[in-house]
C-alpha cells in the first residue's frame, strides 16, 4: 500500500521539482545566451566587413585606375640582388656628382616577397653640404621612381671645418618592383 504524503512532504516534493526545473531552465538559458553572444559577435563582424566591402566597391573605379597605373609603370626585375646593386650604384653616382661623400654603405638582407611588390633596400651614411644633401634627399622619394625613404637620420656635423654647414645623413632607401606573379 502506498502511503499518503503529508502536506509538508508534498511541499518539499514540489520545492524539489521546482528547483530541478529551475536548474534545467538555467542550464538551457546559459547555453542559449552563450550561443546568442557568439552569434551577435559574428553579426557585428559581418556588418563591419560589409561596410568595408561597400566602401571598396564604392571606390572601385579609383582603385582600378591605381592598379592599372601600377601594372603599367611599376618596374620589373629578374634579380633582386642585381637590382639592389644597381640602386646602390645609382645612389653612389648621384652623390659623387653632387660632391656628397659616402662614409659607409650597406646592402641589408632582401625583404621577404609578398603578393603586392618585391623590395630592395640600401643603407648609406653620407657627409656633405647641408643644402646640397637636403636638395638631393628631396629628389629620392617619388611614386614614379617607386622609391621611398624607410629611415632617415640627419645631424649637423659639428666637427666640420667647412664654411657652409655640413651634415651627416644616414638613410635607408627602398625601391619596389612588380611581384613575380605580376600585378
Portion of the chain with pLDDT greater than 70, in percent: 97
- Helices and strands (H, E) in the chain, number of each type: 4, 4
pLDDT digits (tens, 9 = 90+) for 70-115: 889 999 888 888 999 999 999 999 999 999 998 888 888 887 878 8
What are the C-alpha distances in Å from 183 to residues 116, 137, 177, 180? 7, 29, 10, 9
Give the whole-angstrom CA distance, residue 37 versus residue 35: 5
Q: Do 132 and 150 touch, CB atoms closer than 8 A?
A: no
What radius of gyration do the chain's Cα atoms show? Answer: 35
What number is the average pLDDT over the span 48-67? 92
Angle at 24 between CA 19 and CA 30, to 5 degrees: 120
Portion of the chain with pLDDT greater than 90, in percent: 64
Cβ density class 166-179: b for 16+ within 10 Å, e for less = bbbbbbbbbbbbbe
Give the whole-angstrom CA distance, residue 89 versus residue 106: 12
Band (181; pLDDT cuts 50, 70, 90): low
Question: Which residue ranges make up each domain of the chain?
Answer: 9-58, 76-177
- State the CB neighbour count (10 A cutoff) for residue 127: 17
- Whether the pLDDT of residue 26 is over 70: the answer is yes
What is the CATH number assigned to the segment(s) 76-177? Answer: 3.30.70.60
- Assigned C-alpha cell, 59: 571606390
Q: What is the DSSP string of 105-141?
A: EE-PPPPPP-SS-EEEEEEEEEEEEHHHHHHHHHHH-
**Residue listed under C-alpha cell 623590395:** 119
What pLDDT score was predicted for residue 31?
A: 94
73 CA to centre of own chain: 23
What pLDDT score was predicted for residue 121?
A: 93
Amino acid at each position: 500500500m502506498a502511503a499518503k504524503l503529508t502536506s509538508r512532504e508534498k511541499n518539499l516534493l514540489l520545492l524539489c521539482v521546482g528547483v530541478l526545473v529551475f536548474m534545467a531552465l538555467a542550464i538551457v538559458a546559459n547555453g542559449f545566451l552563450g550561443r546568442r553572444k557568439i552569434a551577435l559577435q559574428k553579426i557585428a563582424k559581418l556588418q563591419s566587413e560589409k561596410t568595408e566591402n561597400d566602401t571598396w566597391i564604392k571606390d572601385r573605379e579609383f582603385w582600378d585606375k591605381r592598379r592599372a597605373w601600377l601594372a603599367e609603370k611599376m618596374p620589373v626585375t629578374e634579380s633582386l640582388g642585381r637590382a639592389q646593386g644597381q640602386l646602390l650604384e645609382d645612389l653612389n653616382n648621384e652623390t659623387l656628382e653632387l660632391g656628397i661623400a659616402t662614409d659607409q654603405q650597406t646592402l641589408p638582407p632582401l625583404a621577404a616577397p609578398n603578393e603586392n611588390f618585391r623590395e630592395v633596400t640600401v643603407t648609406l651614411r653620407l657627409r656633405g653640404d647641408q643644402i646640397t644633401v637636403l636638395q638631393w634627399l628631396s629628389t629620392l622619394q617619388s611614386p614614379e621612381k617607386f622609391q621611398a625613404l624607410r629611415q632617415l637620420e640627419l645631424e649637423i656635423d659639428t666637427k666640420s671645418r667647412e664654411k657652409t654647414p655640413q651634415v651627416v645623413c644616414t638613410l635607408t632607401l627602398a625601391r619596389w618592383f612588380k611581384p613575380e606573379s605580376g600585378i
